[in-house]
Structure 1
Amino acid sequence: MASPIIDPDTLLAKADAHRRDKDWMGAADAYRQFTILRPNDWTIIVQEGHCLKEGGKVAEALARYREAEALAPDDADLQVQIGHAQKVLGRWHDAARAYHRALAMNPSSAAARVEAAATAEWLTGPEIDAADRAALSRERDKDPRFAPFLPVPQPADAAIATVFDVTDLLQYFNDRRTPTGIQRVQSGIITRALTAPAAGMAISLAYFEPRQRVWKAVDRHAFTRLCALSAAGADTQDPEWTGMRDAVRRLLNATGAMRFPRDALLVNLGNSWSLTDYFRALRQAQRDHGVRYVPFVHDCVPLIVPEHCLTGLVHSYVRWFSALGLHAHGLLCNSENTRDDLRRHMEALRPGLTPPTHVVRLDADPRGLLPPQGNAAPMEALRALRHDESFALFVATLESRKNHLLVFNAWLKLLREHGAEAIPRLVCVGKPGWHADAALKLLETSPELQRHVLLLPQVSDQELDALYDRCAFTVYNSHYEGWGLPITEALAHGKVTITPRHSALTEAGGDVATYFTPQSLPELTATLEKVILDPAYRAAQEALIRAKGQPRSWDAVKDEALDAIRALAAQPVRPVAEAATVALGQHYKLRRMESPTPALAPAMAELVREGPGWYPLEEWGVSTMAGLATLRLPLPAGTDAPLRLYLEMRAPADMEVELRFHSEGSQAQPFLVSLPAGEPRICLFDLPALPGTSLSIELDSGDGPYALQYGEARRLGVGLLGFMLCRLDDHAARLGMLEEHSLNPVSPALT
C-alpha cells in the first residue's frame, strides 16, 4: 500500500492539479490536508473554500471562509467571498453587510464597490442610520407641503380591506422624480384614499419584492411625503429627495413579508406587467388569504400599435395580458375606449373571459396634485423663455407614438409660410423615449426649428403648472392613447388643445378640444394656422372651455375609483381553476412567451407552476429549484378516462428525479426517473382516471447542482420544457406528439 502524501509542497501541487481539472472535491481534500500541516496559511483555507463552493457545498465553504477570517480579519477580498457565499445561501442581509465591510476595508476594491452598491437595499434594522430615521420621522408631517396628504386613522369596523400595490411607483422613483401620466394617477388617487377612505374601507399600501416573491407593507406617511416631494421638484440629486427615497427603500428592506387581511382586494393602479413572477406570487396569496386582484388597465397600446413600442415591452405586456383574465377579480379602466379595446382582445382569447370592468375617467384638475409651498419654487424651465414670449406647449414623452415628427413638420411649414415673428415657439416637455430618431434628426438638421423648438426633459409639476398658465395654447399628438392627461391638464388651465380625433382622446377632449384628422399634416397645419393667426377664434374656444371643459377634482376621481372597488368587492370570486383548464391533447410549452399576440396556451406556462419551487420562465423552458416543485394541471370537466402524460424534461446534471402524481381524493403514485445531463427527454406516464378537478405533479430533484444564472449561483432542480396530457385512447393526439418530436423515451420505474 502506498504511503500517504505528507509533504506540504506535494500536497499543494496535487490540490492545484485537481483544481485545474475541475475536480473540486479532490482539490478541497488536498487543500485540507495541506492546512493540517500549515494551519495558519489562511490563503489556502480560502482556496479550499472556493473548491467547496464550486462543488456545491456552499455552507461548508462559508465555514472555511470564517476560519480564514479569524486569521485575516482585515482582508477585503475575503469579505467579498464571504458575501458571495451568503448570497448563494439566500442570506441577503448578511451578504450585504459583508460587502459593505469589504468596501470599508478597501475603498479602491472594484468588486467590493460593485457588490455593495448592488446589495444596498438588502441592509436591514441596525443599518438604517440616523439620517434615514430623521427622514422617516413623524415630525416631518408638520411640514406644510405634506399637510393635504396626511392620512387619517382607519375606521375600526372596516369591512373591505383594500391594499394598494405601489410597486410600480416606488420603482419609478429609483431613478426618476418627475411623474408621467401613470404615476400621477397613482399618487392622485392613493394619497387621497389614504386621507379620506370611503366608508367601510380600510386602506393600506404594499410593495412587491420580486426576489422573495412576497409583498411588504409600505409606511403611508413616508409614501405621501415621497409623492409630495416628487411633485415639488425635478432635481433627482436633491438631498431632501434622495434622502427620503433611500430611507423608504431601506425601510422596506428591513420589513418582513406582510400578511394580507382575509379576502383583501389587491389594487394595482400602475404597472404589474413588468414584474417577474407576479402572478405566481399572487396565486399563492389567493390560496392563502383569498386575495382578489384588481389592476388598472391604462391602455392596450402594445397590442394595438406595437410598432411604436420596444419589442421587450410588447412581449412583457402580452405575457401579462394573456394571463390577466385568469387572475383578475375585476378590472379598472380609464376610458370607454380602453374598456372596449380590453374586451375585444380578451374575448378573442376566449369568450366570457373578461372579468367585471369599471371605467374611472381621469378628467381631474392637475393643480390638485401640487403641494403648497412656503416660498416660491425656482422655475428653471421658464428661464429659457422671455417674460413676454408667446409659445405653444406639447407635453409628451419624446417617442414615436407621440409623433413629434408630424408636429415639427407642421411648425417648419408655418415658419416658412408666415415667418418666425408670426409663429410662437414650440415648447416640448417630456423625457426622451424610444423610436424618436426621425423627429430628432429633423430638429438637428433644421436651423429654423432649432431656434423655434425648446426641449425640456426635466420639468417639475410646479414648473409645468406655470408653463400651462403662460402658454398660448397646447398641442397633443399621438398615434393612440388610453386617455391623454395633457389634454385634461390644458383644459383645466382654460387653454385650447389641438389633438387628433381618435382613440380615447375624444373622451379626454370631449366637446371642447380642437380636433384634426389623425396624422394629417395639411389638416394639422391648417388648424394651427387658425388658432395662431385668428385671435378671435382662439378666444371663443377658450370661452367654451371655461364654460364646458373644466375638469373635476382628484377627490372626485378618487371617490369614483373607491366606488368601483366597493362594487367589485361585492362580486362573487371566480377561482382561477374555473377560468382555465388544460385542453386534452394540446402540447403546452413551459417557456417565456416572446410574441406580439396574446394567447391562452402560452399563459398556461404561468398558470400551472405552483408554489415556491420554481425559477422564472426562460426562453428555453423553466428550471425548478432543488428539492420539491409542484406542477398543477387544472382538468376539464368530464375527465373520467385513463390518461397519458408526456413530460419534457432536461436535467442540469446526471440526476434521479422522483415524481409523485395525485389528485383530490387519490393516493400519490410515485415514479423514479433517471435523466442524463443536458439532454432533453420526454417521459411517458400512463395514469388511471382521476377523481378530482386537477392533477398535481410533485417533482423532487433532491439537492441538485449549483449553476451560475443571471449573475448568481443557484441550486437547480430538473428543467421542464413542456407537457401534453391526453386520454389514453386518443391515438390522434399521441400520434401528433410522436410526429412533433423525435422521441428518446425514458421508462420510469415505480417506487
Structure 2
Amino acid sequence: MSNDFSDTLDSDGTLADPDALLAQADQKRTARDWTGAAELYAAFVGQRPDAWPIIVQQGHCLKESGQPAEALARYLAAEALAPEDADLQLQIGHAHKILGELHKAALAYARAVALDPGNANAWREASATSEWLTLHAPRPGGEALDAEPEEPLDAAINDFPPPDDLSAYGPEAATDMPEDAALLTLAVPPAPEAEAMAAPAAPESAGTRLQLVLDVTDLLDYFNGARTPTGIQRVQMGIVSRALSESADAEAELRFAAYDPADLAWHPVDGAGFTALVALSAGGSDPEEPAWVKARDSLSRKVATAPAFDFAPGAVLLNLGNSWGFPDYFRALRAVQQSQGVRYIPFVHDCVPLIVPEHCLLTLVQDYARWFGALGLHAHGLLCNSENTLRDARQQLGRLLPALDLPARVIRLDADPRGVAAPTGSTTLSALRALRPGESFALFVATIESRKDHLLVFNAWLQLLRRHGAAKVPRLVCVGKEGWHAEAALNLLRNAPELQRHVVLLPRVSDLELAALYERCAFTVYNSYYEGWGLPITEAMAHGKVAVTPRHSALVEAGGEAAVYFTPQSLPDLQEKLERVILDREFRAAQEAVVRDKGKPRSWSAVKDEIFAAVSALAREPARPVEQRATLRLGQHYRARRMMRTRPDLQSALADAVRDGPHWYPAEEWGVWTKGGTATLRLPLPEGAADAPLRLYLQLRPPPVEASIVVRCTAAENTFSQFELDLETGRDSTFMLDLPPAGAANILQVELDSGSGTDLAAMSLPDPRCIGTGLLGFMICRQDDHAARLAFLEQQSFCQPTA
C-alpha cells in the first residue's frame, strides 16, 4: 500500500468525511480496484479505529491484491476488537492456509467451530484440516513435521458431516460428538479477550513452553514526557504492536512487563491499554490532548498497582529498548536470575555514546557506560540491529571481558514503517499546512542535534540556493525536535534569511503525518556522524524515495544498493550528490527504480518473527551466572559509589554487582546507603582464594546517630566469622576483618546487619528514608599479601572491631 493520503484530505488539511471515504472504498471494491479500496478503507479506519468490520474488508482487499501476509495482519487486528466472531476466525484460517501455515490455519478453524458450532463452513474447514493439528504441530525440540495431507487442500475433507442440530453440542455434551470433532473443539480455547492479551492463561503444556517477557519500561517512560516517537521507540512500537495483534507463538508464552525502581520488580502491562496508547501515539502529536493523557495515565496506574510479575522458571526477559536510565535495574535482574533462572537478552541499537561521545550529553554517556559495563556480567545473549553494531558491541565487551564469548544475533531493521498502529480518534494532518500546494520538497527526519550534523546539510542547502536560485532548489523540511549541541546549526539558520525561507522545521509530527510527508517528498536526506542502523533510510525506501546519506557505519547496511552516498563530512561531495538528485530528473527516476527493486522492506511481522526465533535459539544456550564471568581481583580497591566515568569499567561493574538483595538504596556519588535490616554483599572470589586466610577491609559511613553493626561472613551457607563494629557519628571509618580459610567456596557472602536502621523523618530531617550503614568501598586480599595491604592502608584511618 502506498499510504498516499492526497485523495482523502479536505482543503484545510483534515481527513475527508469518513462516510464519503467508505462510499469511495466500496466503489473501488466493486470495480475490483483492490489496492485503491484497501487504501481508502485504511483511511476510514484511521478515523474510526473501532470499526473492525471495515478492518476485515481492508484485509479482504489486500488478500485479493496478492498480499496475504498483510491481509492476515489486518484480520488479527480486527480479532483484537472482535475475539468472539467465528467468521473472522475463518478468514484468519484462510490467510494462514494461503501462506502455508497449516497448523495455525487448523487452530483458527477449530476456534471458529468452538465459537459457533452451528456454522457449517467452520465445520467443513475444521474437519478438512483436523490432521494439521498434529502433522504440523511443533515437536518438543521446536521442529515441525513437514508432512502434507495426502489429498489436495480443497479435497481434504473428513467423512463426517456436521450434524443437523449442532446447537446441542455445548461444552457439556462434547462426549456426544464424533471423536475427532470433540477433540478439535476442546483442543483450542476461544480467542482471548483483548484485555487479557498481555497475560494469556498458560495451557496445560505450559511447562514445556518458553515464557518470553517483553520489557516495555523505557517506552512507557518515554510516553510520560513525549508522544511522538523517535528511532528506538518506533522500533519497539513496530515489534510490540505486531506481537500484540498476531496469534501466539506455539513455542513461547508471550507476556509484557515494566520495571519499577520503587520496589525493584517488574509489573505486568495490560495489552489492550498498551495497544490503545501506541495507536494514539501514531495518530497525534499533542502531548496534552485529553484522550492521550487519560490513556497514558490509566495504563500507568494499572502497571503501578499490579502485583509483581511472576516470572516462570527459565523465562527470558527481552528488552527491545534500553534500561540504562533506571536505578538498580541490574540488581533487580540479579534477584530474578538467582531465584527463577531468568535469562536477560537486550537489543543493542548502537554504541554511539562510546564511539562518538562528543555528540552526546555527558549524563547519557555516563549512564550508557555503566549499563554497558554491567551488560557482559548479566546478559544471556545479545540482539543487534546491524553487523556494524555487533562488531562495536563485541569490541567494547572484549575490552572488559576478553574471555567472554557472548552469543549474539543480528536482526536487521529493514521493516516497512507503515501500518505499525492504526491511529485512534479524530486525526488531522496539520503538519502539511506548512507546505505549499503541490510543492516539491526534500525531507530530513532526525532530532536536531550535533550527531545528525544539520549544520553540514544547511550549509549545502545555502550553497545550492546561491548557485542555482530558490526557484530550482526544493525546500528542506526537517522533522524532529531540538536536541543537544544543536546551537551551531540553529545559529546558521537564524543568521541566513535566504536559508530561513527555504527550511521548514516541524518538531512534533505524528506517524500519520510523517507517512504523508514521506509520500509527498521528492527525496530524503539523512546525515549523521555515526549510526547503529538508520531507520529514516528504511522509511524513505518503504515509500519508494531516494535517500542521500553518508557512507559509513551501519548506514551502508540500511541503504544497501538503493541509497545515494556521499563522503562523510564532505560539503563539496554532499553538494554534488544533492545537485544530481535535484537537477537530474532522469538520474533520480533511475535511482527510484533501484529503490523499488533493491530497497523493498519487509514487514514488522517478519522482524518480530525473526526476533522470537533468535530469542528461542539463544534461550537454549547454557546460563552463566555473574561469578562464572568475572571474579573480584584480590588486592583491588572497589568503590561502592555511582561512578561518573565515560568508559565502561569492569571494576565499577563488579562493585555494583556484588550488592545483593533488597536492602540497598541506589548508589550515590559518595557511596551507597543500606536500608536497615540485613544488606548483603555477594563477593565472587578467584578459584582457590578461600583456601588461605583472607583480610576484608570495609569502608563504612554511619547514619546521623551513633550506631553499631553486626557483620557476618558466610561461605557455602555456613557462618564462619562474625564481628560487631561501632560506628562513630560524623566520621567515615575503615574496618579490617581477618577471615579464616573458607575452603573450596567461591562466593563469600558478607551480611551487614544494621538492625532497624535510623528513621531520618523521625529526626526531623528532610530525607524521609530509613537508613542503615553507608558503604563507601571494600577490598579483600590474602593476609600474607603485604604489598596489597600496604597500598590500601597508607591512605586509610582505622577502627579495631570486636570479634
Give TM-score scaled by structure 1 length. 0.79
- Whether 1:730 and 2:730 are equivalent positions in the alignment is no
Q: What SS class does the counterpart of residue 775 from structure 2 fall into?
A: strand
Q: Which runs of 5+ in 2 are unaligned?
A: 1-48, 56-73, 81-190, 193-199
Give the distance between the partners of 1:244 and 1:710, measured in 2 at CA.
38
* Letter of the structure 1 residue corresponding to residue 218 of structure 2: D
TM-superposed deviation, 1:372 = 6.4
Select the residue among 409, 425, 428 that pairs with 2:459.
Answer: 409
In 1, are the aligned partners of 2:460 and 2:575 still within 8 Å (CA)? yes
- Whether 1:325 and 2:376 are equivalent positions in the alignment is yes
Select the residue among 502, 522, 527 that pairs with 2:552.
Answer: 502
Partner of 2:664: 614
TM-superposed deviation, 1:712 = 4.1
* Letter of the structure 2 residue corresponding to residue 339 of structure 1: L
Q: What SS class does the counterpart of residue 332 from structure 1 fall into?
A: strand
In 1, are the aligned partners of 2:283 and 2:425 still within 8 Å (CA)? no
TM-superposed deviation, 1:141 = 9.3
Partner of 2:773: 718
TM-superposed deviation, 1:373 = 7.3
TM-superposed deviation, 1:667 = 2.8
* Letter of the structure 2 residue corresponding to residue 678 of structure 1: G
Partner of 2:751: 698
Q: What SS class does the counterpart of residue 434 from structure 1 fall into?
A: coil
TM-superposed deviation, 1:239 = 2.1
- CA offset digits 1:614-671 (Å, max 9, x no partner): 0111111111111211111011111111101111111123211111111105334211
Q: What SS class does the counterpart of residue 575 from structure 2 fall into?
A: helix
TM-superposed deviation, 1:368 = 3.0
In 2, are the aligned partners of 1:302 and 1:317 still within 8 Å (CA)? yes
Give the distance between the partners of 2:760 and 2:486, measured in 1 at CA.
40
Give the distance between the partners of 1:198 and 1:333, measured in 2 at CA.
22
* Letter of the structure 2 residue corresponding to residue 661 of structure 1: C
Give the distance between the partners of 1:326 and 1:463, measured in 2 at CA.
42
Aligned-residue sequence identity (percent) comes to 58
* Letter of the structure 2 residue corresponding to residue 461 of structure 1: D
Partner of 2:598: 548
The 5-angstrom pairing of residues 237-386 of structure 1 reads 237-371=288-422, 377-386=427-436
Give the distance between the partners of 2:726 and 2:551, measured in 1 at CA.
63
The 5-angstrom pairing of residues 91-106 of structure 1 reads none
Partner of 1:570: 620
In 2, are the aligned partners of 1:326 and 1:353 still within 8 Å (CA)? no
- Whether 1:434 and 2:484 are equivalent positions in the alignment is yes
Q: What SS class does the counterpart of residue 509 from structure 2 fall into?
A: coil
Partner of 1:674: 726
- Whether 1:422 and 2:475 are equivalent positions in the alignment is no
Give the distance between the partners of 2:749 and 2:236, measured in 1 at CA.
39
TM-superposed deviation, 1:703 = 2.7
Q: Do the aligned partners of residues 528 and 711 (structure 1) sit closer, same or farther apart at CA in structure 2, a change above 3 Å counting? A: farther
- CA offset digits 1:297-355 (Å, max 9, x no partner): 00000000001110001000000000101001111110000000000000111213242
The 5-angstrom pairing of residues 496-645 of structure 1 reads 496-639=546-689, 640-645=691-696
Give the distance between the partners of 2:406 and 2:759, measured in 1 at CA.
42
TM-superposed deviation, 1:254 = 2.1
- CA offset digits 1:701-733 (Å, max 9, x no partner): 123323479974111111111111101111111
- Whether 1:662 and 2:714 are equivalent positions in the alignment is yes
Give the distance between the partners of 1:451 and 1:673, measured in 2 at CA.
72
Q: What SS class does the counterpart of residue 713 from structure 1 fall into?
A: coil
Give the distance between the partners of 2:517 and 2:432, measured in 1 at CA.
7
In 2, are the aligned partners of 1:624 and 1:718 still within 8 Å (CA)? yes
TM-superposed deviation, 1:253 = 2.3
TM-superposed deviation, 1:140 = 6.6
The 5-angstrom pairing of residues 101-120 of structure 1 reads none
Partner of 1:748: 801
In 2, are the aligned partners of 1:144 and 1:372 still within 8 Å (CA)? no
TM-superposed deviation, 1:207 = 0.9
In 2, are the aligned partners of 1:308 and 1:401 still within 8 Å (CA)? yes
- Whether 1:481 and 2:534 are equivalent positions in the alignment is no
Q: What SS class does the counterpart of residue 609 from structure 2 fall into?
A: helix
- CA offset digits 1:76-126 (Å, max 9, x no partner): xxxxxxxxxxxxxxxxxxxxxxxxxxxxxxxxxxxxxxxxxxxxxxxxxxx
Q: Do the aligned partners of residues 612 and 541 (structure 1) sit closer, same or farther apart at CA in structure 2, a change above 3 Å counting? A: same
- Whether 1:176 and 2:226 are equivalent positions in the alignment is yes
Q: Do the aligned partners of residues 711 and 217 (structure 1) sit closer, same or farther apart at CA in structure 2, a change above 3 Å counting? A: farther
Q: What SS class does the counterpart of residue 498 from structure 1 fall into?
A: strand
Give the distance between the partners of 1:147 and 1:438, measured in 2 at CA.
49
Partner of 1:99: none
- Whether 1:648 and 2:703 are equivalent positions in the alignment is no
TM-superposed deviation, 1:678 = 2.3
TM-superposed deviation, 1:230 = 1.0
Q: What SS class does the counterpart of residue 593 from structure 1 fall into?
A: coil
TM-superposed deviation, 1:690 = 1.3
In 2, are the aligned partners of 1:148 and 1:371 still within 8 Å (CA)? no
Give the distance between the partners of 1:549 and 1:665, measured in 2 at CA.
59
Partner of 2:167: none
Q: Do the aligned partners of residues 536 and 140 (structure 1) sit closer, same or farther apart at CA in structure 2, a change above 3 Å counting? A: closer
Give TM-score scaled by structure 2 length. 0.74
Give the distance between the partners of 1:245 and 1:192, measured in 2 at CA.
20
TM-superposed deviation, 1:200 = 1.1
Q: Do the aligned partners of residues 297 and 167 (structure 1) sit closer, same or farther apart at CA in structure 2, a change above 3 Å counting? A: same
TM-superposed deviation, 1:595 = 0.7
* Letter of the structure 1 residue corresponding to residue 786 of structure 2: H
Greater CA drift, 193-202 or 459-468: 193-202
Q: Do the aligned partners of residues 710 and 497 (structure 1) sit closer, same or farther apart at CA in structure 2, a change above 3 Å counting? A: farther
Q: Do the aligned partners of residues 506 and 213 (structure 1) sit closer, same or farther apart at CA in structure 2, a change above 3 Å counting? A: same
Q: What SS class does the counterpart of residue 772 from structure 2 fall into?
A: strand
The 5-angstrom pairing of residues 193-208 of structure 1 reads 193-194=243-244, 195-208=246-259
Q: What SS class does the counterpart of residue 674 from structure 2 fall into?
A: strand
Give the distance between the partners of 2:217 and 2:756, measured in 1 at CA.
34
Give the distance between the partners of 1:605 and 1:667, measured in 2 at CA.
23
* Letter of the structure 1 residue corresponding to residue 747 of structure 2: S
Q: What SS class does the counterpart of residue 316 from structure 1 fall into?
A: helix
* Letter of the structure 1 residue corresponding to residue 618 of structure 2: L
Q: What SS class does the counterpart of residue 724 from structure 1 fall into?
A: strand
Partner of 2:107: none
In 2, are the aligned partners of 1:368 and 1:554 still within 8 Å (CA)? no
- CA offset digits 1:232-275 (Å, max 9, x no partner): 11122222222111111111222121211111100010111111
TM-superposed deviation, 1:431 = 1.2
Greater CA drift, 543-552 or 348-357: 348-357
Give the distance between the partners of 2:367 and 2:730, measured in 1 at CA.
28
Give the distance between the partners of 2:765 and 2:445, measured in 1 at CA.
38
In 2, are the aligned partners of 1:141 and 1:147 still within 8 Å (CA)? no
In 2, are the aligned partners of 1:144 and 1:373 still within 8 Å (CA)? no
Q: What SS class does the counterpart of residue 397 from structure 1 fall into?
A: coil
TM-superposed deviation, 1:374 = 9.2
Q: What SS class does the counterpart of residue 698 from structure 1 fall into?
A: strand
In 2, are the aligned partners of 1:430 and 1:456 still within 8 Å (CA)? yes
Give the distance between the partners of 1:364 and 1:720, measured in 2 at CA.
48
Partner of 1:684: 736
